[in-house]
Amino acid sequence: MKFNIITIFPKLLDSYLEEGILSRALAKKVIKIKTHDLRKWTKDKHRTVDDTPYGGGAGMLMKIEPLYKALQHIKKSSQKIEKKKKKIILLSASGKKWNQALAQKYSTLEDIVFICGRYEGVDWRIKEFIDEEVSIGDYVLTGGELAAMVIIDSITRLLPGSLGNENSVAEESHSKKNVGEYPQYTRPEEFKVGQKKYKVPPILLSGDHERIKEWRRKNQKIIK
């Protein structure tokens, strides 16, 4: 799976990709990530990527030409991929809400392009050149970069070879609708803070797998 990220802050994403599961997935070539500095597709001295909105109003908008040129450039590298295996996604607070079902669905794609919006938005003529507008939640971020990372992270961990234990994806919460994770504990059995003791539920130490299963089923946290 290849992720392309169009951004005015290409370095913003680097440190997150240097450690953990994503860095391992990159090293194992389960994923590829290419950041594209939007300013590369500007021609003026100041490398302008934004401008004021027609009709007035607060804030600045991202200009259409650099974005279009960036998309044209990226398209060349994904020419051989079938249309249904690739998507161009504009990240914005007003897009379709990201969730685990979409992560599952998009994990079958081969190439995703993210346009990270900044400022107050993007010249809306962009709609002709994207497949989806996606939001990661009902709040407004300063830009789409974090949203791109959230989406990349949630897709990557579903790809075969990215996690050590492939079962951890199948068993976890969200993989069955409305069913949550159960509470889990690890050593020590008894955790003391001053006089107070915090114990692991005894049943989990019983070795009785049937009863443990039943306990987990009863204690599942339901996702609304």
Interface region with ligand ADE, contact rule CB under 6 A, candidates 103-111, 138-146, 171-179, 192-200: 138-146
Quick note: the x/- pattern for ligand ADE over 34-73, rule CB under 6 A, is ----------------------------------------
Q: Are 92 and 133 in contact (CB under 8 A)?
A: yes
H/E element, 164: none
- The residues pairing with 13 across neighbouring beta strands, listed in sequence order, are none
| Residue 7 interacting with ligand ADE (CB under 6 A) | no
- Which tokens belong to 12? 């913003």
Residue from 7, 103, 114, 117 touching ligand ADE (CB under 6 A): that is 117
Least distance (Å) from ligand ADE to the CB of residue 185?
34
Q: Are 176 and 220 in contact (CB under 8 A)?
A: no
Local structure of residue 129 (DSSP, 8 states)? G
| Residue 140 interacting with ligand ADE (CB under 6 A) | yes
Q: Where are the beta strands (DSSP E) in 53-189?
A: 61-62, 86-97, 111-116, 132-135
Interface region with ligand ADE, contact rule CB under 6 A, candidates 35-43, 74-82, 133-141, 198-206: 133-141
Please identify, using beta-carbon distances, which residue of 124 and 139 lies nearer to ligand ADE.
139
All residues at 6 or more sequence positions from 12 whose CB lies less than 8 Å from its CB, including other chains: 145
Per CB under 6 A, residues contacting ligand ADE are: 91-93, 117, 135-137, 139-141, 144, 147
